[in-house]
Amino acid sequence: MEKSYCTAVVLAAGRGNRMGTEVHKQYLLLAGKPIVCYSLQVFQESDIIDEIILVTGEGEEDYCRKNFVETYGITKVSRIVAGGKERFHSVWNGLRETREDGYVFIHDSARPFVDEEMLSRLYEIVRLDKACVAGMPVKDTIKIVDPECKVRDTPDRGTLWMVQTPQVFETKLVKQAYKMLIQDQEKQARGESGGSRRRGYTVTDDAGAVEIMLRHPVRMVKGSYKNIKITTPEDLEVGEVFAGRGNS
């Protein structure tokens, strides 16, 4: 089967308030290299990815081009665009720059340990199902609690997965979902009726947009327990260990 055109939309617009630093979490150094550059280099070296669109904070486009794209030789970056107020705004800004054909890999740059094997698994499945996400089964028991932290329910751990990125879709499918989501948000902001397909659900990932807006099934694909998101100082410590192993 002929290879389809694949674009990686790499999100680097988050502020990372939980990290407690003035520097955005994705710009912090991990084993001497900016976190954002780990995934950029994986996509750069991948035979699957043809193009990279980097989404960064507004006004930081030139900084990212000079310090990350040019310094680390990420030649597949075709465009650097500014993100938005919320994650879904940033994703939409990136998606608007993609081609209509092929597939798109949406990835949070705060996950530096994506690898080529993961990309291959996702690519294989998205060609069959049009929508898939990386993830892993949860290892801990999960409790559902009320506002007073009293346990309301204990879901079956065997049915629960931790969702990761990349999240991969047929490009025209996810663009349709996000276009509907943005229109939905705009209607709600104006107080118009008929603007709540989400039914109180907050869309926090790309699969959620496809699930809620289009009711399209999404396949889970094995990611890696190593594919952590660097969000807190503790995550950074764990990341240093993983990065050190990779360089040894």
Q: What is the pLDDT of residue 248?
A: 42
Integer angstrom CA distances of residue 69 from 11, 34, 44, 179, 236: 14, 11, 10, 29, 22
Q: Quick: pLDDT tens for 2-11.
A: 999 999 999 9
Task: Find the length of the chain.
Answer: 248
Distance CA 117, CA 122 (A): 9
Cα distance from N-terminal residue to C-terminal residue, the chain: 37
Q: Quick: pLDDT tens for 22-47.
A: 567 789 999 999 999 999 999 999 99
Does residue 79 contact residue 65 with C-beta atoms inside 8 Å?
no
In the CATH scheme, what is the homologous superfamily, with its name and number, of domain 6-240? Spore Coat Polysaccharide Biosynthesis Protein SpsA; Chain A (3.90.550.10)
**Cβ within 8 Å of residue 44, ≥6 positions away:** 52, 73, 74, 75, 76
List the single range of 18-32, 58-72, 123-137, 170-184 with lowest mean pLDDT. Answer: 18-32
The structural domains of the chain, with segments of one domain joined by +, span 6-240
The residues with which 235 forms a beta bridge, in sequence order, are none
Q: What is the pLDDT of residue 203?
A: 84
Q: What is the pLDDT of residue 193?
A: 61
Distance CA 86, CA 101 (A): 26
Q: What is the pLDDT of residue 15?
A: 66
Give 38's Cβ-side CA count (13 Å radius). Answer: 30
Distance CA 205, CA 94 (A): 14
Q: Quick: pLDDT tens for 196-225.
A: 455 556 788 999 999 999 999 999 999 999
Q: Where are the alpha helices (DSSP H) in 14-97?
A: 35-45, 61-64, 87-95
Q: What is the pLDDT of residue 10?
A: 99
